[in-house]
Structure formats: structure tokens, C-alpha cells
Amino acid sequence: MTDAAELRRRTADLLAAHPPTRLPPPPQNEGPAGPPLWSATERLDFLRARFDAGLAWVHFPEGLGGLGAPRALQAVVDAELEDAGAPGNDPGRIGIGLGMAAPTILRFGTDEQKKRFLRPLWTGEEVWCQLFSEPGAGSDLAALATRAVREEGGEDWVVDGQKVWTSSAHLARWAILIARTDPDVPKHRGMTYFICDMTDPGVEVRPLRQITGEAEFNEVFLTGVRIPDAHRLGEVGEGWKVAQTTLMNERVAIGGTRIPREGGMIGVAATAWRERPELRTHDLHQRLLNLWVDAEVARLTGERLRQQLSPTLNSVRAGGAPMGQPGPEGSGMKLAFARLAQEISGWEVEFLAEDGLTYDDWTLRRPDGVDFTGRQAGYRYLRAKGNSIEGGTSEVLLNIVAERVLGLPPEPRTDKDVAWKDLPR
């Protein structure tokens, strides 16, 4: 089984074959034979080489950007490459592809789909978005009404409907899409999961302006969009099963991102405290200490969760999932992330007084992603309000934790066995 030493060796080989930084030339007639060290590898070429070497996500199978190694060992590779000045793949821009589309394609995709989509997804050549929520189906995703109808005797599905709150739709080349294919069965059983080409005729993306002034979210209208059956993920009618993989990974991606000690928003707040001694009060100090401890607990819990997601060699050899699949515990991580982001940003605005109320550039922009640490306090405070909605509302996640982690009795569900077409809307 691949261990840390083997990963360091492979990373060193990658850096030797594809030097990522521009180094000064050696003195004349000196230096090793082969390509000159000062000929740095272009960013995209380096990322492609890293993927092909199995160092993109080491827990994925060989040939698909990984080596079948434990997920926790990814930190070994990342540290070595960071020290060498290697370029990254801009995860803030392609986070939906990395955290949601990729694990779903890996688990349910065909061999052809995996080979076609995973490499350009990881290198950032193709951006992905997620066409799940609808105006009438947000927290209750299974109530969605977007229809996909199979052409009689054909290989295409024709999709009509509307999606909303779609991050990065204005940048995306591809989308993961869930649509209703059978209205005659209960809502959780009549859906199918697809890969949608966002450049196809019939796909219209409109911006949704947010409280921050920006429009990273969008609404997407689908009118007669044709999707080949070869772009279906999973079996017909089993879209909810496939979507569960996406949703569980989404919550880990949002709430379980690896950060250093005192990283993220708590680091910004602690820095503000150190730099502005004239604003300090005893009450604000006690609240900051409590938030710092909560943030550290959440960080360490996330690290433990990532270790639990690491596969065993036996499960890979036996044909099991080559990566651990997140369970309901990820909902708890996302809950903690949303609460902390809102409480820390609220503390920061209060601490900075009038300096915390405003931020520059309140204009309609279409950003590539969300920047919680590089913007001003007022932006962080407003943007954090969305954390308890996106990726599953906190109310829904509390139910998941209560029922699937704590084993409490489920809430009554009167629509469980009713055909979707008969549900009131």
C-alpha cells in the first residue's frame, strides 16, 4: 500500500520531470544533463502531469488522478508541492467540480465518463455547477419539478424546467443535474441524474444579485435541452440515490475543508484583535476566546472525519469504493461551519465598530468564487448569512443529525408513499 515515503518519492519525481518554478541557469558547463532547470513547466501542463502521476487526489484509483492511497496522505503531497512553489488548481473556482461532481462520477459513472470528465475537472479546464434546487424545491429537493422525457426510440432525453441558486453557472461548462423522469411514483423514486452541457441550446443563465451586491448565484432555465443517455449517471429512476452521494460530499466540502490552526475566518478575527488594541474590551475578549476554541474543535473534528473517509486496501481490492463515502456526520460539520462563520463575522463587525459596517466595491459583479478571508469585514458578515442556506439548510441538517447520527425518531412524513403528480404544489 502506498505510504508517505512513497508519495514523497513520487512527488520528487514529478518535480524533477516538470520543474514548476523558474530557476536561475547554472554556470556554463555545469549542471545536470537533460532539460535545463530554468525552463519552468507551464501551469496547465504541470497540473496535467500531476494528475497523470496519481498525485491529484491520492485516494482515487490509479489512472484517474490517484493511487488508491488513504485520503489523509493527500496532505503529504500538498505540503511537498507547496514548498516547491508548484501551481495549484484554484479550488475556490472549481470547488463544485472537485467536491461534488468528481466523487459522484467516480462512484456512479461509467469508465468512459470517468476518463472523459475527471482530468479536465481537476485541472480546472472545465468548470462545473450543480443544477439541483428549484423555486419550489429547495430544502425539500425531492419535490423538484424539472422534467426529463426520453425520446421514443431515441438515445436522448429532453429536459424542461428551472433551477435556482446555482453557483458558478455563468462560468460552467458542465452541470450535474437531477430531473424527474417518472411523475407516477413517490417523489424520491422518480428522479434520474444527468450530466448537462451548459453550452447546449436551451440553457439560459441569469444572475441573481445578492445582499453583497454580487451575483455568484444564478437561476438557470432549461428549455428543450437534449441530453444523451450516455450522460446519465446511475440507473433511470435512481437519481435520489446518486444525489445523496453528491449532497453528503457537498457538506464535507463546505464544512470540512482542511485549514491550518487559526486559519480561515477565526484567523482574520484574531489578527484584527492583535492589530487594534484600542478597540479591545473584556467582553469581546471572552467571546473571541470561546470562538477560537470552537473553531479549533471544528478543525480537529474535520481532520478526524477526513481520516475516517480513508479507504482500506482490502476494500479497494475487493471492488469497494476507492474512496470513503461521507455519511451524515458531514451534515454536523457543515452545521458547525455555518454557525461559526456567522458568529465570527458578527463578532468582527462589532469589534471594528464603524469600520466594520462598510466595504468597498458594492457593485454587481460575477465573481469566480467566495473569498471569506481576503475581503472586508462588512462583506464577510453579509455573505456568511448564506452559509446556513447553501449546501442544505441548517434546519434540514439538524433533522439529518437527529435521525441518522443520534437515532432519534423521524418526523412524520405524510407524502412518503404518494405519487409526485398527486402532491399539492
**236 Rama sector, left if φ>0, alpha if ψ -120 to 50, beta otherwise:** beta
Angle CA 264–265–268, to nearest 5:
100
Check residue 333 and give its pLDDT: 83
Q: For 313-330, what is each residue's pLDDT tens digit? A: 333 333 333 345 666 777
Q: What is the pTM of this model?
A: 0.83
Check residue 39 and give its pLDDT: 52
Between strands 128-131 and 174-180, the pairing is parallel
Please indicate whether residue 250 or residue 170 has the higher confidence score (pLDDT). Answer: 170
* Angstrom distances, CA of residue 21 to CA of 79, 86, 121: 16, 7, 24
How is domain 244-405 classified at the architecture level of CATH? Answer: Up-down Bundle (1.20)
Residue 309 binned pLDDT confidence (cut-offs 50, 70, 90): low
What residue spans define the domains of the chain?
Answer: 4-88, 244-405
Q: Is the pLDDT of residue 175 over 90?
A: yes
Residue 103 binned pLDDT confidence (cut-offs 50, 70, 90): very high
- Half-sphere CA count of 364, side-chain side, radius 13 A: 5
Check residue 306 and give its pLDDT: 67
| Grid cell locating 355 | 469600520
Q: For 355-376, what is each residue's pLDDT tens digit? A: 888 777 777 788 777 777 878 8
Catalytic residue numbers, as ranges: 250
Q: Which of 300, 289, 228, 221 is nearest to 259 (CA)?
A: 300
Check residue 124 and give its pLDDT: 96
C-beta separation of 190 from 181 below 8 A: yes
The Cα–Cα gap between 69 and 54 comes to 10
Q: For 29-48, what is each residue's pLDDT tens digit? A: 444 444 444 458 899 999 99
Q: Is the pLDDT of residue 109 over 60?
A: yes
